[in-house]
């Protein structure tokens, strides 16, 4: 699946101009985000890696935070808007025990790669995950066709989920 995202990203324009007054980039063929979550060795932390088209993230931040979004070249987005990226994913990627409060997440880094940003997030969580609720609705407020594919590895038990506007949250049972 990750290879598909990289192949598809090569088919899209490298960047689109950052021009004030343009609210969104030109449409492209696919709206896809890929999330990998790894929770190993019964630790109280997990890592989420999100692969997201750079221009789509820029559009989401500009739309969600019009007063504080710092306009600039796409390659400067990670350093100019690090706090906004952190807030955005804290709102749009949530993990929690079923019926419980969302776990604390902290943005670690944003790495540009071709037309993508690779966003790395640390998740503070319990050592054991019996039942988990996952919400991954990023970009769905802008793109009705957005799909987010999630791979979650909990102590070697790997599961896959697909999130859409009609199904932005799901549950996983490891009991």
For 52-77, what is each residue's pLDDT tens digit?
A: 999 999 999 999 999 999 999 999 99
For 139-169, what is each residue's pLDDT tens digit?
A: 999 999 999 999 999 999 999 999 999 999 9
For residues 51 and 35, what is the distance between their CA atoms, to the nearest angstrom? 6
* Residue 7, pLDDT score: 36
More confident call, 42 vs 136: 136
> What band does 81 get if pLDDT is binned at 50, 70 and 90?
very high
Average pLDDT value for the chain:
87
β-partners of residue 105 are 123
* Residue 30, pLDDT score: 82
* Residue 29, pLDDT score: 72
For 11-34, what is each residue's pLDDT tens digit?
A: 333 333 333 344 455 566 788 999
Element housing 8 (H / E): helix 2-11
């Amino acid at each position: 699946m990750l290879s598909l995202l990289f192949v598809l990203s090569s088919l899209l324009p490298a960047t689109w101009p950052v021009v004030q007054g343009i609210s969104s980039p030109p449409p492209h063929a696919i709206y896809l985000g890929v999330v990998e979550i790894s929770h190993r060795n019964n630790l109280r932390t997990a890592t989420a890696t999100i692969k997201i088209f750079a221009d789509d993230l820029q559009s989401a931040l500009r739309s969600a935070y019009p007063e504080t979004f710092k306009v600039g070249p796409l390659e400067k987005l990670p350093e100019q808007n690090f706090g906004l990226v952190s807030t955005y994913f804290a709102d749009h990627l949530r993990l929690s025990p079923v019926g419980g409060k969302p776990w604390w997440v902290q943005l670690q880094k944003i790495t540009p790669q071709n037309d993508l940003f690779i966003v790395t997030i640390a998740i503070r969580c319990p050592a054991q995950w019996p039942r988990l609720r996952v919400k991954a609705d990023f970009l769905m407020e802008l793109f009705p066709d957005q799909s987010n594919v999630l791979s979650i590895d909990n102590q070697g038990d790997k599961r896959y989920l697909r999130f859409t506007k009609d199904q932005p949250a799901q549950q996983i049972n490891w009991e």
